[in-house]
Amino acid sequence: MSELPLTRNVRADRSPTDLAAYEANGGYGGLRRAMAGLAPGDCLDIVKDSGLRGRGGAGFPTGMKWSFVPMENVSPGHKYLICNADEMEPGTFKDRLLLECDPHQLIEGMILAAYTIGADVAYIFIRAEYLKAAQLLREAIAEAKAKNYLGRDILGSGYHLEMHVHASAGRYICGEETALISSLEGKRANPRAKPPFPQVSGLWGRPTIVNNVETLCNIPHIIERGPEWFQGLGLGGDAGTKLYGVSGRVKNPGCWELPIGTPVREILEDRAGGMEDGYQLRGFLPGGGSTDFLVDEHLDLAMDYETIGKAGSRMGTGTMIILDDRTCPVGFVKNLIEFFAQESCGFCTPCRDGLPWNAQVLDDIEQGRGQLEDMDTLEQHVSYIGAIGNTHCALAPGAMEPLQSALKYFRDDFLRHIEERTCPYREVH
Amino acid sequence: MSEQLHSLPAETLTLSDAELAEIDAEIAHAPYRAAVAIDALKIVQAHRRWVSDDCLEALAAYLEMPPAELEGIATFYNLIFRQPVGEKVILVCNSVSCWIKGCEGIRAAVTEHLGIEPGQTTSDGRFTLLPITCLGACDRAPVMMVGDNKFEDVTVERIPAILEQDEGATPG
């Protein structure tokens, strides 16, 4: 069994790790190492060399993202580091584990990230319903301050950082980094046009980095153990470990840290225990509600960015949702499209009007009122709304991913609804 | 004393000292007052369960922003309530992992037990039922929240005990 740094303090009962327990297990070692002798540029090189890619869904190289923050000749004022803890992607429950079980790991990662980019203020943007996690983070920040891991002149280094928790008021679009910044400014969470990118002009017009919880939790280990160690954790082309999850009709749904690149089959069968008795696998979304379906033939693929991307989907958040043979694929996709339609910020027309239109068409088909032409309507929407560049942000193209792949893999199910004028799965649901 | 009170804009009197103290603590680390609009709405709601028109106007004045702009923010977010809600808000997750595991039946059982549809409040003012997007506990679907508590692996049979005795509650 290889090393699993992110969950080493996660206990079976999921009780939180306090500061004493975190330190006893080597916690804040990465911070001590950096404050004792690493310049921000050294930390940036280490993270760049590690090959860490963002764990929020897009997989952008973390070191490269940070490198766009101006470090010299910056006008006077703040720079910001924001942790995106607005975990609202349907089927995604991995950041909750890290937040509830090991809050100091996140805080240490945030201090190191903020130090690297020269930020003096950090925020944790956490979704409204994660009440326990938000409380634990507030307590952990107070504990860290008392030990001078936060505040003025951290560990005698001359570096200052303050950290705040902002609990959201609930809206999926806040997970989009520029929408999150709008929301943190107290506004409606409309995404912003890029450029300018947040690294240059983010929160209140100042240089800002937004990183996912899991991404930031990797940083203390990378700084302490080095890039070669981190690269050695992965099985294929990607570096590190990944929190993988499975939900749906499997025997043992859950979330596990595994080497990145672990085959889908191993996650599904060895960890999740395979399908529940009486249920067969029909397909799965590899990484949350805005990723394309994959099917049986993809079970032996490695769960990493490249491999899942080549198969026509995205690893996304790495938390798989399983479609079984007794659940209606049309109803499944309708549920997702209704979610995205509701959570659209309403700023651009294809998303605001197109998603409810799709939801209506899918409802017609699912209720047995569909026509064959409805299939063309859905295909048109997939090609128009699904194309990057036709919408203000990635929400609507993401919403089209499960639909377009359902039309490809489960077309017969759509047609049966239309021909039989009812849902063939009706007795089951 | 009464003269001094009358000299204040009437709407600022709506907010309590406790609310204003909490809002001030947020303003202390914000670049301008309106930047704390969402935190302030949540503070008012934590004290009063919902944000009335009077409160919204008082808050807008206190944050030095137009009431219409604050209304636009308040109504954008799913969990700012502009209508009265019950003592406990019931959030039944309706996203895909919970849908696979039968959340529609859970919602129907809550409706049947309490006699309210989503968006309604019981006549005794104890509960308001609302749908909610994915609650981030999909491995324990179906999931719901009642007030600040989370309930996992919910079954139709458990609904009365969950609602009446908080049976099986874990912190949210």
CATH number reported for the structural domain that contains residue B30 in this entry: 1.10.10
Over residues B28-53, the pLDDT tens digits come to: 999 999 999 999 999 999 999 999 99
Over residues A368-408, the pLDDT tens digits come to: 999 999 999 999 999 999 998 999 999 999 999 999 999 99
Q: Tell me the whole-structure pTM to 2 decimals.
A: 0.96
Q: Quick one: pLDDT at residue A383?
A: 97
- CA B14/CA B21 separation, integer angstroms: 14
Tokens of A175: 């997970």
B98 and B161, same structural domain? yes
Q: Quick one: pLDDT at residue A1?
A: 52
A311 and A225, same structural domain? no
A71 and A210, same structural domain? yes
Q: Does A185 touch chain B (CB under 8 A)?
A: yes
The last residue of a domain, from among A233, A249, A265 = A233
The stretch A314-330 carries a mean pLDDT of 97
Average pLDDT, chain B: 93
Q: Quick one: pLDDT at residue A176?
A: 96
Q: Does A128 touch chain B (CB under 8 A)?
A: yes
A146 and A229, same structural domain? yes
Q: Quick one: pLDDT at residue A236?
A: 85
B101 and B164, same structural domain? yes
Burial class (CB in 10 A: 0-12, 13-18, 19+), A168: buried
Q: Which residue out of B26, B91, B138 would a mutagenesis test of the A interface target, given it has the greatest number of A Cβ atoms within 10 Å?
A: B138
- Into how many domains does chain B fold? 2
Half-sphere exposure at residue A206, Cβ-oriented, CA atoms within 13 angstroms: 19
Q: Which of B80, B36, B84 is nearest to B60 (CA)?
A: B36
Is it the case that residue A277 has pLDDT exceeding 60?
A: yes
Q: Is B81 inside any structural domain?
A: no
Q: Which of A334, A318, A400, A337 is nearest to A92 (CA)?
A: A318
Cβ atoms A298, A307 nearer than 8 A: no
Q: Quick one: pLDDT at residue B13?
A: 63
Over residues A136-177, the pLDDT tens digits come to: 999 999 999 999 999 999 999 999 999 999 999 999 999 999
* Sequence-ordered strand ranges (E) for chain B: 88-93, 127-132, 144-146, 149-151, 170-171
Cβ atoms B29, B23 nearer than 8 A: no
The last residue of a domain, from among B52, B74, B96 = B74
Interface of B with A in 28-87 (CB under 8 A): 29-31, 34-39, 41-42, 72-73, 76-80
Question: What DSSP assignment string belongs to A68-100?
Answer: TS--SSPPSS--EEEEEE---STT--SHHHHHH
Q: Is A9 inside any structural domain?
A: no
Residue A128: list chain B partners with CB under 8 A: 79
Q: CATH no. for residue A337?
A: 1.20.1440.230
CB nearest B72 (choices: A188, A254, A343)? A188
Helix (H, G, I), strand (E, B), or coil: what is residue A204?
helix
Interface of A with B in 268-297 (CB under 8 A): 289
Q: Which amino acid is at B79?
A: L
Q: CATH no. for residue A193?
A: 3.40.50.11540
Work out the pLDDT band at B7, boundaries 50, 70, 90: very low
The stretch A283-288 carries a mean pLDDT of 97
Q: Quick one: pLDDT at residue B12?
A: 52
Strand pairing partners for A126?
A85, A167
Over residues A337-353, the pLDDT tens digits come to: 999 999 999 999 999 99
Q: How far is A2 from chain B (nearest CA, A)?
A: 24
Is it the case that residue A218 has pLDDT exceeding 70?
A: yes
Q: Quick one: pLDDT at residue B1?
A: 40
Q: Residue B108 CB: number of other CB atoms within 10 A?
A: 14
Over residues B132-160, the pLDDT tens digits come to: 999 999 999 999 999 999 999 999 999 99
Tokens of A329: 């694929």
A165 and A39, same structural domain? yes
The stretch B72-91 carries a mean pLDDT of 97
As a dihedral over the C-alpha atoms of residue B66, residue B68, residue B70, residue B75, rounded to 10 degrees, the angle is 180
Confidence check on the interface: ipTM exceeds 0.90, yes or no = yes
Q: CATH no. for residue B135?
A: 3.40.30.10
Q: Quick one: pLDDT at residue B6?
A: 42
Q: Is A166 inside any structural domain?
A: yes
Half-sphere exposure at residue A306, Cβ-oriented, CA atoms within 13 angstroms: 8
Inter-chain touch B136–A324, beta carbons under 8 Å: no
- Into how many domains does chain A fold? 3
Q: Quick one: pLDDT at residue A388?
A: 85
The pLDDT > 70 percentage for chain B reads: 92
Work out the pLDDT band at B9, boundaries 50, 70, 90: low
Examine residue A198 and say whether the peptide bond preceding it is cis (omega within 30 degrees of 0). Answer: no
Q: Which of A108, A151, A48, A429 is nearest to B100 (CA)?
A: A429
Write out A298-313 in H/E/C secondary structure: HCCCECCHHHHHHCCC
Domain that holds residue A262: 241-324
Work out the pLDDT band at A2, boundaries 50, 70, 90: confident
B28 and B69, same structural domain? yes
Q: Quick one: pLDDT at residue A427?
A: 67
Inter-chain touch B137–A319, beta carbons under 8 Å: no
B69 and B92, same structural domain? no
Q: How far is A15 from chain B (nearest CA, A)?
A: 12
Domain that holds residue B165: 88-171
Q: Helix A372-385 crosses helix A411-420 at what angle (to 10 degrees)?
A: 140
